[in-house]
Amino acid sequence: MTVSEVLKGIGIVAGTAIGKIKVLSEDLSRHLHHYSVEAPVREVEKFLVALNQATEQVEKIIENANKHGEDKQAGIMEAHLAMLGDPMLKEAVLQKIKDSMSAPQAVLEVTQEYAAEFAAIDDQYLLERSADVLDIGRRIAKILLDVRGVELGSEPIILFARDIEPSVLTDISSEVVTGLILEHGSTTSHAVIIAKAKGIITVVGVPGSLKLLDGIQVALDGTSGEVVLSPDKAELGLYLARIREERERYVRDLANASLPAVTVDGKRVQLAVNISTPQDMEQALMFGCDGVGLYRTEFLFMGRNNFPTEEEQFQAYREVAEKCGENLCVIRTLDIGGDKPLSYLDIDQESNPFLGWRAIRISLERTDLFVTQLKAILRAGVYGNVALMLPMVISSGEIRRAKECLGQAMSELEHEDKDFARSVPLGIMVETPAAAVIAPHLAKECDFFSIGTNDLVQYTLAVDRGNQKVRKLYNYFHPAVLRLIDGVISAAHDQGIWAGMCGEMAGDPLAAILLVGMGIDELSMNATAMPKVRELIRGIDVLLAKDLLQQVLSLDDGVEIREYLVKALKN
Ligand code: PEP
Ligand code: MG
């Protein structure tokens, strides 16, 4: 039992970490106070030199990230590079210096003004970009003030900050920084995306500024979101034992990676992986996957200033298709909009972006973009076993219109004399209640379903998937969601097509047992979730899973259902 004080946040990257806190101070005021201001011409000169140095630093980080295949980091830093080259920002700083402000003060003020403008718009994406612009402001100011980066020793530490600049994390290794605690930060912020990619155990939403002081030892639980302050000997022992277990488990998982996900009575479930970039395949293959169940292609379009060409897309899709070998590689067409806007695609300000112009709706209006993407996917089909998947479908008409675009893509490729796969399976994401309810109709128009619970849950329960305030209501064990999923799988099988799942629910072993009972054919998840789901499937029996499903479907409360499953699995 824990006796030390515990702070509670939201676990984002699972696992255990122990270390001393290092507080990332945001306060440059002490340095500003000691800065000696010179004449405006000199301040202008110093600013221009610092701007150049900041640009070089960012270019180096990008080069390094590219070398290590760290695509997401590179993308974020590309956005910083674009901001550093923004002539309006530069002009605004020069104006302030000419009005007799010091160079570092001017940079900080201008970038804070930009950030405030972004933050004032009620938009999660722009809110996160405001952190980016503050980040570049501080980078330039630190050069001017001669403030060095975070001093990290060789001992593992846990960083604590109100929020963190993505570029600070880009330079950090998970061997030195084993944990990250943020007071703010959301699941989609760039810093969190980088922490996830680096495997740094992360907890956000921790109100700890008065307690998490430099040098204090903490134990961090990235699953429960608990931060134990100054753990005593017994508690430390427990957490150290957990870390040892996690390491042993990792080694065991790798050893079991080639085992198929087959139930005790012989039902094979395809265990596929969700990826965002071709580089994600490395980890996926290490954990043993039966192909890709969801390739989120929109990440290829993000963190840049223009649309990727057909050739660029083709190269990325081909790489993944080849890495899948004989296995299926399901490439989802662009799912932009909602919480994933594109700066260079003109999307009007929407009051409900998740209910607005997103995904297939954009593709069917911007058919120029859609056909280009389809051509790249069809060409990649020559190098592997590729399937196409449409996001956010609500009607049969959308699938039919997508097929017309597919026809156009094929005839253009024919004309251009390019090699392409002539028969590529076409599936849809079932992620709206509309699609789930009319699944028997939609099944006639396509070759497979993949259930996207991340959106299906938010639309069915009217609970925003990104809003921490209503997080407790977001529950895929809600009986309304379970019934929809059950109906979708049956509709697929009645029509003779397969049904998979690629929402986060697929990677939860508790859910997997119910899904096996419903007859799911494929589960697609993050690579790190595969070992536990594989182990569960190999230990169950379909009859038992069906029985459990019947018991669960008689309950009428999602929280109760989860508790019931936890108990049943323990037994
Ligand atoms: C989903 O909605 O479940 C899904 C997998 O798509 P995304 O998370 O990319 O919206
Ligand atoms: Mg979705």
Ordered by start, the domain boundaries in the chain are 6-24+150-250, 29-145, 256-570
Amino acid at 1: M
Q: Which whole number is the average pLDDT over 372-393?
A: 98
- What's the pLDDT score for residue 156? 84
Active site residues: 190, 502
Q: Which whole number is the average pLDDT over 129-144?
A: 85
pLDDT at 325 over 70: yes
- Name the nearest CA neighbour of 360 among 320, 311, 400: 400
Q: Is the CB of residue 413 less than 8 Å from the CB of residue 375?
A: yes
Q: Which residues lie closer than 8 Å to 294 by C-beta, 6 or more apart?
A: 272, 274, 275, 330, 332, 389, 450, 502, 524
Superfamily per CATH, domain 6-24+150-250: Phosphohistidine domain (3.50.30.10)
HEC sequence for 182-207: ECCCCCCCHHHHHHHHHCCEEEECCC
Ligand 1 binding pocket mutation candidate from 335, 339, 458, 459 (most atoms within 8 A of CB): 335
454 CA distance to ligand 2 middle (Å): 6
Least confident range from 5-14, 151-160, 325-334, 446-455: namely: 151-160
Please give the order of strands across the beta sheet that includes 157-161: 6-8, 226-229, 217-221, 16-23, 157-161, 177-182, 201-204, 10-13
| Smallest-distance ligand from the CA of 295 | 1
Separation between Cα atoms, residue 259 and residue 454, nearest integer Å: 28
- Name the nearest CA neighbour of 125 among 384, 407, 354: 354
Q: Is the CB of residue 164 less than 8 Å from the CB of residue 25?
A: no
pLDDT at 145 over 90: no
Pairing of the two strands 426-430 and 270-275? unpaired
| Smallest-distance ligand from the CA of 188 | 1
Model confidence at 529, pLDDT cuts 50, 70, 90, reads confident
435-451 pLDDT, tens digit each:
999 999 999 999 999 99
Helices then strands, counting H and E runs in the chain, come out as 23, 16
Which residue blocks in 351-427 are alpha helix, DSSP H? 360-365, 367-380, 396-415
- What's the pLDDT score for residue 213? 83
pLDDT at 326 over 90: yes
Closest atom of ligand 1 to CA, residue 296: 9
User: Could you confirm whether domain 256-570 is CATH 3.20.20.60?
Assistant: yes
pLDDT at 393 over 70: yes
Share of the chain above pLDDT 90, in %: 59
Model confidence at 398, pLDDT cuts 50, 70, 90, reads very high
296 CA distance to ligand 2 middle (Å): 10
pTM listed for this prediction: 0.71
Nearest CA to ligand 1 atom 6: 452
Question: If phi over 0 gives left and psi between -120 and 50 gives alpha, with beta otherwise, what is residue 103?
Answer: alpha
- Tell me which CATH code domain 29-145 carries: 1.10.274.10
- What's the pLDDT score for residue 337? 86
pLDDT at 187 over 70: no
DSSP state of 337: B
425 CA distance to ligand 1 middle (Å): 20
- What's the pLDDT score for residue 166? 61
Nearest CA to ligand 1 atom 7: 454
- What's the pLDDT score for residue 170? 65
- What's the pLDDT score for residue 72? 72
143 CA distance to ligand 1 middle (Å): 41
- Name the nearest CA neighbour of 515 among 565, 454, 554, 560: 565
480-527 pLDDT, tens digit each:
999 999 999 999 999 999 999 999 899 999 999 999 999 999 999 988
pLDDT at 411 over 90: yes
Which of 151-165, 283-297, 302-316, 510-524 is modeled with the greatest confidence?
510-524
What tokens were used for 356? 């607005």
Residues with CB under 6 A from ligand 1: 294, 296, 335, 431, 452-455, 502-503
Helix, strand, coil shares of the chain as percentages rounded to 5? 55, 15, 30
Detail the residues annotated as belonging to a binding site for Mg(2+): 431, 455
Pairing of the two strands 10-13 and 201-204? antiparallel
456 CA distance to ligand 2 middle (Å): 8
Closest atom of ligand 1 to CA, residue 298: 9
Closest atom of ligand 1 to CA, residue 294: 5
Task: Compute the mean pLDDT over every residue in the chain, rounded to the nearest whole number.
Answer: 89
| Smallest-distance ligand from the CA of 454 | 1
- Name the nearest CA neighbour of 89 among 147, 56, 137, 43: 137
**Rg, the chain, Cα only:** 25
Closest atom of ligand 1 to CA, residue 391: 6
- What's the pLDDT score for residue 113? 87
HEC sequence for 490-522: HHHHHCCCEEEECCHHHHCHHHHHHHHHHCCCE
pLDDT at 94 over 60: yes
**Per-residue buried b or exposed e for 438-461, using 16+ beta carbons within 10 Å of the residue's own CB:** bbeebbebbbbbbbbbebbbbbbb
Share of the chain above pLDDT 70, in %: 94
